[in-house]
Each structure stands twice: as structure tokens, then as C-alpha cells.
Amino acid sequence: MPFALRPYGALALAALTLFFGCAQAQDETVIEADDVRLRVTTITDGLVHPWGLAFLPDGDMLVTERAGTLRRVSPSGEKGSAIEGLPEIISRGQGGLLDVTLDPDFHENRWVYFSYSEPGTGGTSTAVARGQLKGDQLEQVQVIFSQQPKVRSDGHFGSRLVFADDGTLFITMGDRQQSYEAADSQDLGSHIGTVVRIHSDGRVPDSNPFIDVEGARPEIWSYGHRNIQGAALHPVTRELWTGEHGPQGGDEINRTLAGKNYGWPIITYGVHYGGATILEGKTHSDGMEQPVFYWVPSIANAGMTFYTGDKFPQWRNNLLVTGLRSNLLSRLVLEGNEIVAEERLLADELGLRLRHVVQGPDDLLYLLTDERNGKILRLEPAH
């Protein structure tokens, strides 16, 4: 059964700022967590609402800025010029250039995948394109998925990109802020409020759960979602797990399995905006999945990753989730497929909207802050 947990251990984390001159004092913070001392270092700033981050084989980072810029950032924090070749992107509200990831065979094919808000007839929708990275240019750019239908809304685009072990690509999406009564998240004829699964070139896998269902969009993997902005593969089961925004409360972590209905807008642990509605207070319904974990009140969960490295051995296979309005990094401790404890980090010490968390090739953790002067932060053990 899903449940909400109170954070355990030292909730009031003691932060010690290192005073090696004024500039360094702003760039480096040491934090006492439950079982490890943490150092948070600013790698770079000056990014405009960074959203997605992917590490290149040479150690450079590809970072998306929601305004529509993709740029390379060196390990030392030097920002490159904007990478050319992106399609038309509408940057408005929650829309813009969103996630970025590399092809599993990037060493050979140089494909980079990115999600964004795409204009078209009827409004905008979440779309995914890929291009081959050559220097500071994307070449052979192809749109491999375009959410249908397009709607006139500037919110709830999703969207994270995750490659499964078989090379298929998961794309998470939102309900596009449609009214509760009119939301398409329960309609298999719409991509709205779904996770889709495609091949890397946009083809539909024959094993998708609704491929033979009349009237259903064949790309759909799961449905009944509100706004999924976090996704990662479980390090042991290799199943897709996702993080989903609730309305006022009811943010969720879900095991996101083939063909399952996750209930939105029929069931939720949140409270709908604007007061009571016809759906108020309903948390269970036959044929609809329960979350593994949920937050009440909301933390506005965003990016997430399972930690699998050696630099934080105490955290191995823990799920790390960033929060926007809460400014926190949530560390969720798992036993099998159950979340048994939570530790909340960084909110008091940094006070920054945290958009995403990524494990680097050095096994350290890298955070994006969702600010006009957005930063890349590195989280490492402090000895």
C-alpha cells in the first residue's frame, strides 16, 4: 500500500559555509546529512531556467535552457555557444526546450534526443526530435514523436526521456492543464496524460500494450497521468519509475508498467485547485493503480534518478527526487519496490528551486536549479 512518510533523522540539517574569501563562500556549502557530510559546489551559473542535462563521453555536459537553447558546458563550468540546428520551439509558460538524452550507441551514431513544446494546428504539444551532434551543430534533425492532439495551453508538457535496456525510448507527458472534467488522460485515443514508448527512430514497438486496441494510439505505454517530470529505470528490476505532479498535494512516485491506468483525474491524493469538484476526495477506483509513494502537502517533485555509484555507498539504489516549490532534494530509501524512509536535504541551506538531479560519470551528483540565473551544482562527500 502506498503511504506518505515523515522524514527521519536530522531534519534540521546544519549547514557550514566555507569562508575562503567572499566568492568561494557563495560557491561552496557543507551540509551535515544523516549519514554523510555533503559538499555542494557551483559548477556554473548564468543558465536561463535549465531543464535537462546529459553527459557526453568527453565529460562535457549538454544542458537545455527552457527558453530554447541547447549548450555545452565543460567540467570546469565554461559555457559554450548555443548549439545550432534545433527546430522551432515555443517557449511560453511551462513550455520550451525540455529534456535531453544521448542514444545508447552515441559513440557510434552521435544521436542526441530532446523534448520540447512544438507549435502547430490547434496550439502546441510535446514533441521529441533527434539530431547528430557534430561540433556545435545538430545535423540530420528528425522529429520522431509529436503528441496528439495539440491544444491551446502553456502548461503540463511533461517530459522526461528514458531509454530502456532494449533500446526503446520512453517519453513522459502531461495532461496539458485541461479541465478535470474534460481531461483526455483517460482517453486512449489521445497522447495527453500518457507515457509513450517508441523505437529510437520513431517506429512503434510491436509489443506495446495497446497496439491492437481499436481507436487507441499505438505509442501509449501507460495512461491516466497528470504531469510527469521525473523518470528513471529501477536499478534492479529495470522497470520504469516516474514522478508525477499532483494538484494541491498528491505528488506521486509510480512504478509505470505496460497498459496500466494511473487514475488521473478520477483519483488523486491531492486537493483540486479552486475547491471541491465532482472528483473531490476519491483516492481509489477499480482498475486504477496506486502510487508507490506520495507527498501531502506537495513538494512539486521534478527530476529524479536512482543512485548506483560508489561515492555515496550509503545511498546505493536510493531514489533521489528534486523539488521545485519545496527547494529540496528528497532521498527515498527502498526495500524491494517499497519506499520505507525519506530524508529531506538542501532546502534550508540552498533555498533554490531544484529542477533535476543526474548521476555523473564520476559517480557524483549534479543538480540543475530552475532559476533565471540557473546553476549546475555538484554534490559530493565532504571529508
Q: Output the pLDDT for position 143.
A: 98
Residues 243-246: contacts with CB within 8 Å, 24+ apart? 243/301, 243/302, 243/303, 243/304, 243/321, 244/291, 244/301, 245/156, 245/174, 245/298, 245/300, 245/301, 246/270, 246/294, 246/295, 246/298
Neighbours of 202 (CB within 10 A): 16
Distance between terminal CA atoms of the chain? 39
Name the residue ranges covered by the structural domains of the chain: 15-381
Q: Which backbone phi and psi does 338 adopt, to 5 degrees?
A: -110, 140
| Tens-place pLDDT, residues 254-288 | 999 999 999 999 999 998 776 555 455 689 999 99
DSSP string, 272-303: -TTS--TTTT----TT-PPPSEEESS---EEE
Distance CA 125, CA 156 (A): 10
Active site residues: 156
CATH top-level class for 15-381? mainly beta
User: What local confidence, expressed as pLDDT, does residue 182 receive?
Assistant: 55
Using CA of residue 97, residue 161, residue 291, residue 182, what is the dihedral sign? positive
Q: Which amino acid is at 312?
A: F
How far from 290 is each of 17, 157, 192, 234, 235, CA to CA, in Å? 41, 23, 20, 18, 21
Q: Along the chain (383 residues), what's the average pLDDT of each consecutive run of 10 residues? A: 41 30 56 92 97 97 98 96 96 96 98 98 97 97 97 94 98 86 84 98 98 98 97 98 94 98 94 61 92 96 98 97 97 97 95 97 98 97 90
